[in-house]
């Protein structure tokens, strides 16, 4: 094992070699290491690892994941089917083989989304996550890292569909949607009472399964947004200033604002409001398609200062994607627009 002084020398030569063209590195190491073959081997090993990672990053994301995990087991988890892929990484259906056998969902965090302290932060969060026990919240079982150092999280596998899709497929009426949404709120309230914030509530993270023929929402990824966020000493209910994790359109204004200091349980309440809006109006309060082309300050200004249309007005305005073909959410308004608008008007006091 190298001493601290030897390791500093290795790092120094490694950094210096990286500043040179790849074809000139061998000559540099020959001159810099002299007769110390061991020193040269150590630096060369680091350079080879660096080159391998660089080549991996030049490939599409799907190829990177395929090369690192496809056809393999990660610890006691045997990967079987890819369930999805997003900004955070990939989610796989896996078969746990020990200490018990069961199906789980394994989320592999994307390269670049984490630092060396991520697992330590998650371990600190595990105790908080473990105290949550509510039928509307999917459990987080385990966390670890692949041999390449890529973190993963193991969660309860929920074979459900997003709440918006479920309501559309079943053509649920307004009251039925509200009854289902109340169950979601009860799960979020339970987590807030345990001092856990989701930070990324959206239909894709609120799945619905049927238990004895009755719909039951299951909120997934609870607490993971905080686990992958930057570390903050003494953090309890707040995220680190200058960072945010979430999905545009569902994020509260303070969660979008890097300078905000008061990101707390209210950000989940805001996101729940957006989910409810989509369930009732069939589209989001704000059209986020053009946000990426707007200055960041303008996006924040709109979130803070502009009030969205009431759901009934949104339906009446014809801005709802009715009867398919578009990219928006469909609702029962597609089948009974007049009755739907009337009921929304009544509930809104219009």
Q: Which residues of the chain are under the pLDDT cut of 70?
A: 1-4, 50-71, 86-88, 111-129, 223-246, 258-262, 290-292, 296, 316-343, 345-350
| Structure confidence at residue 64 (pLDDT) | 46
Tokens of 199: 């930070």
* Residue 17 C-alpha from the chain's centroid: 37
What pLDDT score does 12 carry? 83
**Domain 161-348 class in CATH:** mainly alpha
pTM given for the model:
0.67
Q: Which fold has domain 62-156?
A: Phosphorylase Kinase; domain 1 (3.30.200)
pLDDT tens digits, 211-256: 999 999 999 987 665 554 444 333 333 333 334 456 778 888 887 7
Residue 111 confidence (pLDDT):
66
What does the pLDDT read at residue 87?
62
Identify the pLDDT of residue 124.
59
Torsion of CA 12, 16, 18, 23, to 10 degrees: -130
> Is-catalytic flag, 262?
no
Q: Which residue among the candidates 168, 200, 221, 257 is catalytic per the annotation?
A: 200
Q: Is 169 exposed, middle or buried (0-12, 13-18, 19+ CB in 10 A)?
A: exposed
């Amino acid at each position: 094992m190298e001493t601290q002084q030897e390791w500093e020398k290795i790092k120094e030569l490694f950094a210096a070699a990286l500043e040179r063209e790849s074809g000139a590195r061998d000559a540099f190491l020959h001159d810099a290491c002299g007769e110390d073959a061991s020193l040269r081997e150590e630096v060369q090993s680091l350079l080879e690892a660096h080159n391998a990672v660089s080549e991996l990053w030049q490939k599409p994301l799907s190829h990177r994941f395929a090369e690192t995990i496809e056809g393999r087991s990660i610890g006691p988890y045997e990967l079987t089917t890819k369930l999805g892929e997003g900004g955070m990484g990939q989610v796989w259906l896996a078969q746990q083989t020990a200490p018990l056998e069961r199906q789980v969902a394994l989320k592999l965090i994307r390269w670049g989304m984490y630092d060396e302290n991520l697992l330590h932060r998650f371990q600190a969060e595990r105790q908080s996550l473990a105290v949550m026990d509510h039928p509307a919240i999917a459990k987080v079982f385990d966390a670890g890292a692949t041999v390449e150092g890529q973190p993963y999280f193991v969660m309860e596998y929920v074979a459900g569909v997003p709440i918006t899709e479920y309501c559309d497929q079943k053509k649920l009426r307004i009251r039925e949607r509200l009854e289902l949404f109340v169950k979601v709120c009860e799960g979020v309230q339970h987590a807030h009472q345990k001092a856990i914030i989701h930070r990324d509530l959206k239909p894709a993270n609120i799945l619905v399964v049927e238990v004895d023929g009755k719909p039951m929402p299951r909120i997934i990824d609870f607490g993971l947004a905080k686990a992958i966020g930057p570390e903050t000493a003494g953090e309890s209910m707040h995220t680190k200033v200058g960072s945010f994790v979430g999905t545009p359109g569902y994020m509260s204004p303070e969660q979008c604002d890097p300078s905000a200091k008061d990101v707390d349980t209210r950000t989940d309440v805001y996101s729940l409001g957006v989910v409810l809006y989509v369930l009732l109006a069939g589209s989001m309060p704000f059209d986020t398609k053009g946000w990426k082309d707007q200055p960041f300050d303008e996006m924040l200004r709109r979130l803070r200062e502009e009030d969205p249309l009431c759901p009934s007005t949104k339906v009446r305005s014809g801005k709802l994607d009715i009867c398919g073909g578009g990219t928006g959410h469909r609702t029962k308004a597609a089948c009974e627009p007049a009755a739907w608008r009337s009921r929304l008007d009544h509930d809104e006091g219009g």
